[in-house]
Structure 1
């Protein structure tokens, strides 16, 4: 028997599995692309790859769902026929509060217990003091999850007994994060236009949060190099969140939201074949438009 199961070994799932294994837990993993789970297991003796999701779920009392979104989560559960009875199921996928109810009902209807979690960092922070994760669900279930939350390290916060609250918190936190990212990429473009050195720009920004500081440092380095390949949070991980956030903004009566603009910019980039790049690649859209426009003399 394993101590914990991780379903989905993409960037988040692999980070969860590595942190749990490093903390001494035995970890069962499954991934739709089996080679990714096999490679992870080959590098970490406490990680054990399973050929089926049902087998991985059955091998431990706790399952961490680390798939891309709720639709994929439902599809995997449909196809696998995993037995959730008696198990604590923790959902990490991107989504909105309205997505929580059907999945929770599915889990509890099958005799399982359900929690929502949101890791508010890049995946490489999992297992370090920089990790910040929020949870929604039963306080008793959160206490039972202690070996996993201890493995995550950093700050682990039980927000509310209602699982939807963790997802709502994540949506609000994500909106704030993307406001920062939108400001960063637009400020970088304006700085270039006005001959403000990007280095001077970086040190002038009030960096109150380490995650924001990391986005600036990584983003500026990639902009200066012109090479945006970045596996920690490529465009494919941003598009689903931005689709959800833009829809939430519309429901809130917000016109011309920066979230809609960000979503459309990411869509454009992906239509251009960019998928594994850091979101700072959006600055190339500004550069291209500026290069195509008549020179207006708007330089200080």
Structure 2
């Protein structure tokens, strides 16, 4: 297992995130080889002890573990598909943002070239890399993850999701859905309260309390979804729909955009029309599971 403290690593791609990844490996004591199309981006890393490889092929040869973090999956294929790049025997960890289909196809492509492949997603901003706050998701063969887990822990809190290479990408976008939904709901409430002279800083602690309280419901609601049974233990969907109408009316009354609450209400109305009005809110999973054209 390649989990010694001095395991050599290669980092390909030195944008802000790539620089943070290479810096974290250096700080943890790993001999680190880097490559970037614009070599000057490696200057500080080289000053800190990294080796700058002249080509991607030379960078890959420097060790058996290579991390790539570039603009997109097309760039991954372009860089690693060059004639001088030998991937056989390399464990390649792709931390480039993309979708689950791209991740699965990249895995097939890499494995055909003799590489072991893990796909990943970084749930952190560059300054957090190297701390426990940086969550790094990985999917692919568990044996490959376990072989390099202690090396990867230099980057933050590493998490293994499963053998399906597409899982890291799916978790990534699912996390973004949570993030934007919480932020958009907070902005809706902030816009409404500002019409009464309440500033965002005053509302934020109350909003945070509500968000934390709702988060506590998730495990129980998840059990309902997984069982496919939605008894109204707290509130029926038709009751929630009446509250949504109130939110729409209040938004319009104070001159605030009502598109978001109207979306909530439209989905609830469809579920109620399908006979689910007496069930609990998670029954809306049936609406979320439908392709947009079928809604």
TM-score, normalization by structure 1: 0.64
Structure 2: unaligned runs, 5 residues or longer:
1-5, 213-287
**Deviation of the 1:184 alpha carbon:** 4.5
1:172 aligns with 174
2:136 aligns with 133
Of 7, 11, 14 in structure 1, the residue corresponding to residue 12 of structure 2 is: 7
1:71 aligns with 74
Q: Which has the larger radius of gyration?
A: 2
Structure 1: unaligned runs, 5 residues or longer:
210-249, 256-300
Residue 159 of structure 1 aligns to a residue whose secondary structure is strand
Mean CA deviation greater in 56-65 or 99-108: 99-108
Distance (Å, rounded) in 2 between the aligned partners of 1:37 and 1:187: 45
> What per-residue deviation string (whole Å, max 9, x for no partner) do you get for residues 86-114 of structure 1?
00001111111110122112211111100
Distance (Å, rounded) in 2 between the aligned partners of 1:18 and 1:138: 26
Residues 201-220 of structure 1: pairs in structure 2 closer than 5 A: 201-206=203-208
**Deviation of the 1:195 alpha carbon:** 2.7
1:142 aligns with 2:145: yes
1:37 aligns with 42
Runs of 4+ with >6 A deviation: none
Distance (Å, rounded) in 2 between the aligned partners of 1:40 and 1:72: 22
1:83 aligns with 86
1:103 aligns with 106
Distance (Å, rounded) in 2 between the aligned partners of 1:26 and 1:130: 24
2:117 aligns with 114
Alignment RMSD: 2.7
1:200 aligns with 2:202: yes
TM-score, normalization by structure 2: 0.65
Residue 163 of structure 1 aligns to a residue whose secondary structure is coil
User: Retained in 1: the 8 A contact 2:186–2:207?
Assistant: no
2:56 aligns with 53
1:123 aligns with 2:126: yes
User: Retained in 2: the 8 A contact 1:2–1:59?
Assistant: no
Residue 71 of structure 1 aligns to a residue whose secondary structure is helix
